[in-house]
Structures are given as structure tokens and as C-alpha cells.
Amino acid sequence: MRSGKPPANGARAARPASPPWLADAGFGETKTRILDAAFRRLASEGYAALNVRDIARDAGVNHALINYHFSSKDQLVIEVLDAANRRLLARQTAMYERPVGFAEKWAEARRFYEDDLASGFVRVQAELWAASFSNRALREKFLPRVLAWKKIILGAVREALEALEGRRQKLPAPFTAEVIACFIAEFWLGMEFADLLEAKEEDAQHRAALDAVQWLLEGLDARLAAPVPRRRKRK
């Protein structure tokens, strides 16, 4: 019998049957519950305090099952990150398809971020990010994602700069698309780690900074929507 469908019931406590979180990819119910509990534990207690017994208790499952379904605690953590990566990839491609303006893309990214912050996703990512400093396997899961993420940003920035050049506007030489994309990517990452410190003073500043970019992009969208100027910029 493969572990496709849930095994009728067993004497399992009546738990909220696995939230939508990382529930995809045809895992058995137990496996999903463990993954989900591990995620929640990472989000609430952090990586340093992570241990299989608490995870099992949260999942409502015997703790030996963790080594049965995942071969070790380390492997479980890696699969948590894997699931997170799958989820991000799906969202990313979904966003890619939608052909909207730059400002709207930015706004959607902000909405996603708010969700991720509230759901604990940002926290888990930060915990595993730090853990990956001393965990090669974990780091190797992060690197391609970071690179892919930067590539997305770079693509959007390139698009924007080319549009600007079509309007005969150009940024100073050192500000290449790569540089601007780097600014955005690392700013965002820094914002995540800063937000997790939960300094209320920061929140307002972050919103203001995000708003400023939003304003910039709205201006860009407007200019792109207007008819091309005859000879030189009109404004």
C-alpha cells in the first residue's frame, strides 16, 4: 500500500486536518501534518529550539514517525524548505503571467509580503537562512532560489529601463539594471530581517520607502501610457 490516501482514521485526535499551508504534493496525511507542524514550530520557536518531540506533539503524532517518514530531523527541515520553495515558485510563475503595469507588480509584491509576514513564512525563511550558514544542504536549497529571485527583479528592472530609454531618458552610468536590481533585492531582504525584530518604529519607515518606489513606478506607468513625445520629453 502506497502512502497515497489517508489511512481511514486510526485513533488520531481530532485535529484541524492540515491547513492549506504546505499541504500539496500528494503526501500522505501524516507526512503533511508533520511538515506543517515543523513549519509552525519554526515560525514560533525558531530553528535553535526545534526538536522532533515538540513537532510530533504539535502534529498529534508519535515522534518516532518523524524518522519513519523523513529519515532524520535534518531531512525534515530540508523538506520544509523544499515545500516553501515549491510554493514560492508557483506563486512567482502565476504573477509572471499577469501582464500588468510596474506599479501593480510592486503593489502585489507588497501584498504577498504582508501575507508572508502574517503567516510566519518570513520568519521561517529567516530562521532557515541563518541556519544555512552552518548547513551546507540547506544553503544549497537557498542559493538557486535567491538567484532566481534576483533574476526576476532584474528582468523587471531591465524592462523598465528599456522603456525609459525609449523615451530618451537615461540613468547615470553606474546605475545599471544589475545595480538597481541589487538595491531592490537586498533592501527587501534587509526589510524582512528588520521587521522580524518587531520594532514598531521601523514599520512606518518601511511603508514610506515602499510607497516612494510605488510612486516612482506609477509615474513611469503613466508616462508609458501617454503617447510618445514628438521630439523630446514633454515634461
Which chain residues interact with DNA by CB under 7 A?
1-3, 7-12, 28-30, 49-54, 61-69, 71-74
Range in contact with a second copy (rule: CB under 8 A) among 52-60, 95-103, 110-118, 146-154:
146-154
Shortest CB 126 distance to a second copy, Å: 6
Q: Is 143 in the site for a second copy (CB under 8 A)?
A: yes
- Alpha carbon 227 to chain centroid distance? 37
Nearer to DNA, 63 or 145 (CB): 63
Residue 45 interacts, among a second copy, DNA, none and using kind-specific CB cut-offs from 5 to 8 Å, with a second copy
- Nearest distance from C-beta of residue 205 to a second copy, angstroms: 4
8 binds, among a second copy, DNA, none (CB under 5 to 8 A by kind): DNA
Chosen residue from 10, 99, 172, 227 binding a second copy by CB under 8 A? 172
For the bound state, the minimum distance from the C-beta of residue 127 to a second copy, rounded and expressed in Å, comes to 6
Q: Compute φ and ψ for 23, nearest 5 degrees.
A: -75, 0
* Nearest CB to a second copy, comparing residues 24 and 45: 45
How many CA atoms does the CB half-sphere of 154 hold within 13 Å?
Answer: 11
Q: How far is the CB of 134 from DNA (least distance, A)?
A: 13
Minimal CA–CA distance to 4: which of 31, 22, 37? 31
- For residues 143, 148, 153 and 158, what is the CA-based torsion angle, rounded to 10 degrees? 120
User: What distance in Å separates the CA atoms of residue 233 and residue 230, rounded to the nearest whole number?
Assistant: 8
Q: Which helix (H) or strand (E) holds 171?
A: none
- The CA-CA-CA angle for residues 20, 52, 24, to 5°, reads 20
C-alpha grid cell, residue 162: 528599456
Cβ neighbors of 157 (< 8 A, separation 6 or more) are 177, 180, 181, 184
Binding residues for a second copy, per CB under 8 A? 44-49, 123, 126-127, 129-134, 139, 142-143, 146-147, 150, 172, 174-176, 178-179, 182-183, 185-194, 196-199, 201-202, 205-206, 208-209, 211-212, 215-216
